[in-house]
Structure 1
Amino acid sequence: MKLNSVAGLVAATAGVVQATASSDDSLAIFAKRRTADLAQFPDPTWFSKIDSWLSSQKADGTWSDVNYLSGCPAQRANWPIQEHWNRLITLGAAWSGTNPAVSSSQAKDPKLLAAVQKGLNYLFSNDYTSADCMGDGGDATKGCPCGTPGLWNTNWYDQAILIPQLCSTACLLVKDANLTETQRAGCERIPNRAYALRDGTYGTGGKMTGANVVLIMQNSVTLALFTDNSTILADSMTRAMAEMTFTDTPGADGIHRDGTFLQHDGVLYNGNYGKDLLNAFIQLESEAIGTSFAADNDTRAAMSTYVKGDEWLIYTDSQTKTEHWDFNAIGRFVSFPTVDLQASADINFNVSKLAAATADFQGQYAVNDTIRRLLSNGTQKLTGNRGFWASDYMVHRRSNFMLTNKMISTRSANSESVNGANPYAYHMGHGTLYSYVKGNEYKDIMGAWDWNLVPGTTTLLNQPKLQASQVKYYGLKDFVGVVSDGAFGAAVEDYVDPLTQNLSYRKSWFYVDEGVIVITTDIKKNATAGNTPVVTVLDNRAADSTRALVKSGFVGQQGEQHLTTDTLYYANNGYLAYDTPFQLTLSQGKRSGNWSEISTSTQGVETVDIFSAYTTIKGNSFTYGFFPSISSVKLLKELVDPTWIPITKNGISGIYGKGRASLAFWPGGAKSVKLDLRELGWSSKAETLTFTSDQPALYLLSAQKKDKKGLHLTVTLADPTQKLAAASYSIKLSGQRYKVREVDGRSEGLEKRGDGSIGFGVKLPAGGLAGSSISSEVVLELN
């Protein structure tokens, strides 16, 4: 059973004091609030099972339907013994009388307390004694080899975080009871073991970072309240709040200034470890309001940025009205079905409690709009484009769809396989492109889908061989990144297969109102790749009731089909090939897979209906458009009269049209590109704008004609390498005389160059903002 979140401020404590409490009062304030808080830990349905648990508990304090397997044979992830603790917490919450949803008749019921004490006696009498069991259990060279007596797990997390959380929770709920000396000692010993190592290492867990620091300190606060230790309380709160600030080291665990959360050295994890940190913040800040431990401005800045960033990563299943995390943001937890209540099941934090915890976040720290939209369960839309430079990730949202794009670089990793979960996820994050229209496109299919066909990726078909030892990789190139003006965006990935180096290419995604234009150039295979085809996966998703449609008509509904076509239309999503036709392989039908093969899930074999489509690329470049939630009629119109004109030449990729241009200047490529002003809609005459970038970079250009002679041009740029201190570009118009002047004064230099162009110098963001976008506005005055 999944460990519930222990977060939030209950109604009974909502009206807490506004003035800052003295340090002497903080302990009492915390104890009152946390006890009421922890009483809400149990799932409400658990309270109805109390009578059954009381009658079925054995004399030694155990239950016959709980799996107590410990040591080396025990399940590493989601250790089943936590069910025993969950029952004690439920009994303790009812006994405490602090959960308003529980009948007051159960408060201080001696039968409940007796059951809790019996359960504690079993756990404490079977506690491990060797310090090496904390993080080195099962290591034959240490003091806790397989067969060592006691309740321990080979996963350090259980001794350091999970069991201390459960133990401290159960104990605080019955703190006021007449516990025995042995019981009080056990209540203190288990969480204190983790707290005592706060400046050291946890065996195979190493030194704690990111969310894990906060979780240990969260448990240590409960320990402090149980033992009335104000020193531990102050230390734990200080450490927790300090961890909930920005980290500016590329790839480091923690909150980054773009709003993403990385854990396990560069893996995007907003939806799991970041969510855990958020739940800890909700609990700690709710309890700290009015005390000296409330979040300072450094923590407010980071948590505000993180919460606002989270919203971009969340979509809503239109059928269930449940909010979910983008699959790019939950790492190895894509390998669990929703029924297992892991990160794929829900956002797993309480938005109302978040609102209470941030009620006094004002001005630049305010998150009211985000909370309002999250509470609407998708009825109030977040739209626009956001680039996450710290994680090489982009999200593009319109009112009827959401696209998410994850890449890898020398600064970021793709995914991971840990504790038996996610063994086939090598291709995850290698240019992944998920699309959400209904929100159920990828629900519960990973157990059976083809892991070689991750949506959006370009790869050698069925290579490499997928295995748990070959999942997590950083990219090999640094020209990977994003640029965004808030409404439109672009992403680039200079890619070399990080495992085999058998395949390389340069891929760019240009996000527009209709969806995204994807351009892949410089595709190269080395000799060891042989005749293995290069493919781009258009999608791999739950099948829809509709039939696939190509330009020539409908496609057979079941089985595998091979087609050459310019268009594909499926489930109201359209795909358009620009330069050469698709060489499609379509497959629709039932596939079976075993969830227990890819995770610790016990759901076993499941059969689902899946649709997949990929195109084989025979040349060294390919361009296609992906237009979610489009009509088939509009798709055909795009084929005849494209809204966007792709650019694929001389080391420059881009698109232009409809008043905008998006450009990627690749390392070693040309520095200038000519754009047709008439095609852009910026002029009625056959004139050109030559745009020159003096260094590899990403640009977005948009213009609005303010008057008959002045064209206001906004230039947004970013440095994907995150290494440049400054950048420069120039603009030149043909066909008439003109002047160029700057509006906002952000350029470091404005110069007239020898070729007649006007050059601009721009100071680029640095530190934790390196790689982010910067915009300037110039006016083209036509004479």
Structure 2
Amino acid sequence: MVIYKIIVSIALLLTPWTVKAVSHEELLKIKRNFSMILIPTDSDPFHLKSILSSIEPEEEVSDQAVVELHQRYPFDREKIVFYISSLSDRGAWPDINYEDKKRSGWEPKIHAERILELVKLYYSRQTSYFRSEEVKKTIHKALDYWFTTKPVCLNWWYNQIGVPKTLGTAFILFEQELTSKEKKAAISVMGNAKFGMTGQNKVWLAGNIMMRALLQNDAELVKIARDTIVSEIVTGKIEGIKDDWSFHQHGAQQQFGNYGLSFVSGMSFFSGVFAGTSLAFDERQLGIISTLIDKGYRWIMWKGKMDVSSLGRQLFHHAPIHKALSLAFSASELGGGESKQCISVACNLLKENYGVMKQNPLVGHKHFWQSDYTIHRRPQWMASVKMASDRVVGVEMMNGDNMKGFYMADGATYIYQDGDEYLDIFPLWDWRKLPGVTAFQSDDPMPIIQKCHPRNATSFVGGVSNGMYGISAMEVNRAGIKACKSWIFIDDYMLCLGAGIQSDSNLVVTTAIEQCHRTGDLSILQDGVWNKVAGQWKSVNAEQRFFHHNTGYIIWNVATSSCVAEVAQRSGYWHDVMQMYRSRMVTGEVSSIYLEHGVFPKNKKYQYLILPDTSPATVKNFNLSSIQILRNDEEAQIVYIDRKKMYCITAYQALSLMLNTGCTLDICTPGIYMLYEENNGYSMWCVEPTQKRNLIKVRFRNREICVPLLEKKGQSINVKL
């Protein structure tokens, strides 16, 4: 440890965030900040505690962000009475399985969480238990059990991060009541955390070391731990905050709702803990975190819920609600209420998700180019598309989490209006028919990812955007399926194209259009009349129009593929998705629409339109001739949208396109292009999605135009033609 201190101290002398030595008075200030932040009060300036109190607490919790969110709930007197009365003479609680071997949702951690809850209760002036001898006795007994039995989880994370993080907080708050023996044992528990790793894991570990240093009154180690924490407040590293304002962990993998959420939550907490001392975060550091919220997290939240595709492997019950609320607390507390930039960003996020607003004010189109992830936002709806490439890991299965999510990054497409469309649907889903995904139809168990992350074996994956509209494209070559897929987003609809669909199996191949909770009738337009779909409906007609939950779906020109619409009562188990849950059946009605391409399809294609926030009359009367699909094959997908005077082009190969003005556009570099008429000329937004070429080249009106990419690989570039 001494050698490590010397090495780190020398390294930190060379970094811009190094600060002067920490005084004894500042250590006391940091400990007081712990108490001010963590001991409950009646203060609720943003009414977030009121929102939290309206949500039924979870019975089984594994997600660290949700664990900490639950620690904000008002004290439940019935639970407190149980904690005190049921604790055995040995200091154990009878409802906890201390022999639990799960790697996620490990039950002994509940013991640590209850200790922290009791410590907060002991110091809370809001209850009659303030400085209660009965509560203090219970805390000492529960601590003694942990120090004596030393529970160990099979998952390293609980031993080095999760449990020390929870107990360390309790130790700091309860320090004055700890005996010398208990304090020595507490320091030993905290000693399980060592400096190392990357991204949020690095921050967690350093935070635990910082708490140990506070118990030891080791000012030098507190400073080293703090500087290690803030060393991750940067962009552009392999893991952590990316240049496109997404967050990566476990390699090139988007982790907004998992590690990224814990990063923001932790940094918000530390910004308060160090406030008023020489270790306080500076405006640059606070600016980076608030920008991550502003340019990243605000985009993936809709009406107080996080997008399903941002959750990573953490598909817990109520996860979109809990994670969004956890972020809201963190944003509101970032900088201790003293940074104008942090306050501004927090207010925007809170108004958009928890205010009384008729329309969503954050409107536009954003493609996270380092994460193969697209968000499209309109005043009344939001859509997301999650993809994967040979650069970007799509999804992971780990520690019993996400046991069915094999296809979650193969173009999964979610549409939100009220925000509840997919809330807690995970046990009821047909996981081979996630919206937007082309996959095999089968009743066999879902493939399990072992020791490696699923990647798509192609680099042609990306998106182009002008800030308001956009195109995303994905060449799929994964798990026996090949396809070329494009998504075109404008004001009031999303157009989805697929071509070149092939497979290597004798299983039927499907493309799912929608699979969500049933909200009202699923209706089909037949002979000019809307009729309710009961059970399953199937047809090979050239054109079909459906309506469900204020959303229209129009499918046309799908060749010999069958269109299937279904409303079904389903049942399932949370345990099958997330193994930390007990095996309890849940039921619900699901509405779904999908295409069947058959067995061994060869160059099959599809085209369908989704119109959110609409009416049956609008869907019925929608004029498809306003959308001219010029090509939809494995070489190119080209659409001309008449009312926007816009060409949407996914060019998998070099090609020539005759524009309606008689001009020829030669696309020499395969890529994604959005071309529209502007001021008697053309404006073109383009992207080279493979991120392997150094320039984009086109020919227009006998001019060769070369756009150097330099540091802009994967990003949208505007060119005037």
Same fold (TM over 0.5): yes
Does residue 181 (structure 1) correspond to residue 180 (structure 2)? The answer is yes
Does residue 79 (structure 1) correspond to residue 109 (structure 2)? The answer is no
Distance 1:476 1:416, change over 3 A: same
Distance 1:378 1:723 in 2: 46
Q: Which residue of 1 aligns with 2:218?
A: 229
SS at match of 1:538: strand
Q: Is the 8 A contact 1:660 1:700 kept in 2?
A: no
Q: Over aligned residue pairs, what C-alpha RMSD do you find?
A: 2.7
Does residue 529 (structure 1) correspond to residue 500 (structure 2)? The answer is no
Distance 2:88 2:341 in 1: 56
Return the offset for 1:396.
0.6
Distance 1:650 1:227, change over 3 A: closer
Does residue 56 (structure 1) correspond to residue 79 (structure 2)? The answer is no
Return the offset for 1:68.
1.9
Q: Which residue of 1 aligns with 2:575?
A: 596
Q: Which of the two has higher C-alpha Rg?
A: 1
SS at match of 1:193: coil
Does residue 94 (structure 1) correspond to residue 73 (structure 2)? The answer is no
Q: Which residue of 1 aligns with 2:640?
A: 656
Q: Is the 8 A contact 2:320 2:423 kept in 1?
A: no
Write the mapping of 1:236-255 to structure 2, written as runs, cut at 5 A: 236-249=225-238, 253-255=239-241
Letter in 2 for 1:44: Y
Q: Which residue of 1 aligns with 2:138?
A: 115
Distance 1:44 1:452, change over 3 A: closer
Letter in 2 for 1:237: R
Q: Which residue of 2 aligns with 1:540?
A: 515
SS at match of 1:245: coil
Q: Is the 8 A contact 1:386 1:484 kept in 2?
A: yes
Q: Is the 8 A contact 1:333 1:344 kept in 2?
A: no
Distance 1:419 1:509, change over 3 A: same
Distance 1:21 1:356 in 2: 26
Distance 1:369 1:33, change over 3 A: closer
Q: Which residue of 2 aligns with 1:672?
A: 656
Q: Is the 8 A contact 2:256 2:310 kept in 1?
A: yes
SS at match of 2:204: helix
SS at match of 1:347: helix
Letter in 1 for 2:668: D
Distance 2:460 2:356 in 1: 35
Percentage identity across paired residues of the two chains: 22
Q: Which residue of 2 aligns with 1:718?
A: 687
Return the offset for 1:268.
2.2
Letter in 2 for 1:515: Y
Distance 1:655 1:115 in 2: 69
Q: Is the 8 A contact 2:244 2:369 kept in 1?
A: yes
SS at match of 2:430: coil
Q: Is the 8 A contact 2:412 2:434 kept in 1?
A: yes
Distance 2:289 2:647 in 1: 32
Distance 1:243 1:689 in 2: 51
Q: Which residue of 2 aligns with 1:516?
A: 494
Distance 1:362 1:665 in 2: 42
Q: Is the 8 A contact 2:474 2:485 kept in 1?
A: yes
Does residue 454 (structure 1) correspond to residue 434 (structure 2)? The answer is yes
Q: Is the 8 A contact 1:551 1:568 kept in 2?
A: no
Write the mapping of 1:305-704 to structure 2, written as runs, cut at 5 A: 305-308=291-294, 309-316=296-303, 323-334=304-315, 336-338=316-318, 342=319, 345-349=322-326, 351=328, 353-358=330-335, 359=337, 367=345, 370-374=348-352, 376-377=354-355, 379=357, 380-462=360-442, 466-469=446-449, 472-497=453-478, 499=479, 502-525=480-503, 528-530=504-506, 532-552=507-527, 553-555=529-531, 557-565=533-541, 566=543, 567-580=545-558, 583-599=562-578, 600-602=580-582, 604-617=584-597, 620-643=604-627, 645-648=629-632, 651-657=635-641, 658-667=643-652, 669-676=653-660, 687-704=661-678
Q: Which residue of 1 aligns with 2:13?
A: none
Distance 1:292 1:78 in 2: 38
Return the offset for 1:670.
3.5
Deviations 1:142-165 (Å, cap 9, x if unpaired)? xxxxxxxxx111111110111101
Distance 1:721 1:373, change over 3 A: farther
SS at match of 2:436: coil
Q: Is the 8 A contact 2:522 2:546 kept in 1?
A: no
Q: Which residue of 2 aligns with 1:191?
A: 190
Distance 2:620 2:550 in 1: 13
The TM-score with structure 2 as length reference comes to 0.85
Q: Is the 8 A contact 1:373 1:382 kept in 2?
A: no
Q: Is the 8 A contact 1:479 1:493 kept in 2?
A: yes
Q: Is the 8 A contact 2:257 2:323 kept in 1?
A: no
Distance 1:246 1:31 in 2: 30
Letter in 2 for 1:282: S
Letter in 2 for 1:60: R
Q: Which residue of 2 aligns with 1:263?
A: 249
Deviations 1:648-669 (Å, cap 9, x if unpaired)? 36823232222343443434x2
Distance 1:571 1:217, change over 3 A: same
Q: Is the 8 A contact 1:505 1:521 kept in 2?
A: yes
Return the offset for 1:462.
2.6
Q: Which residue of 2 aligns with 1:16?
A: none
Q: Which residue of 2 aligns with 1:31?
A: 31
Return the offset for 1:286.
2.1
Distance 1:368 1:760, change over 3 A: farther
Distance 2:644 2:431 in 1: 39
Return the offset for 1:460.
2.9
Return the offset for 1:124.
0.2
Instruction: Identify which range, 378-387 or 605-614, moves more after superposition.
Output: 378-387
Distance 1:445 1:398 in 2: 24
Q: Is the 8 A contact 2:33 2:274 kept in 1?
A: no
Distance 1:375 1:437 in 2: 13
Letter in 2 for 1:576: I
Deviations 1:169-228 (Å, cap 9, x if unpaired)? 111111112x22221011111122213xx23xxxxxxxx222111122222222222221
Distance 1:450 1:692, change over 3 A: same
Distance 2:73 2:710 in 1: 49
Q: Is the 8 A contact 1:315 1:439 kept in 2?
A: yes
Write the mapping of 1:14-29 to structure 2, written as runs, cut at 5 A: 23-24=22-23, 25-29=25-29
Q: Which residue of 2 aligns with 1:217?
A: 206
Return the offset for 1:464.
7.7
Distance 2:302 2:343 in 1: 23
Distance 1:298 1:620 in 2: 52
Q: Which residue of 2 aligns with 1:737?
A: none
Distance 1:344 1:447, change over 3 A: farther
Write the mapping of 1:256-295 to structure 2, written as runs, cut at 5 A: 256-295=242-281
Match of 1:731 among 675, 700, 705: 700
Deviations 1:357-383 (Å, cap 9, x if unpaired)? 245656799635643534534734321
Instruction: Identify which range, 40-49 or 159-168, moves more after superposition.
Output: 40-49
Distance 1:268 1:300 in 2: 22
Q: Is the 8 A contact 2:381 2:612 kept in 1?
A: yes
Q: Is the 8 A contact 2:352 2:361 kept in 1?
A: no
Return the offset for 1:641.
3.6
Structure 1: gaps spanning 5 or more residues: 1-19, 128-150, 200-207, 317-322, 677-686, 706-710, 733-756, 779-783
Letter in 1 for 2:587: T
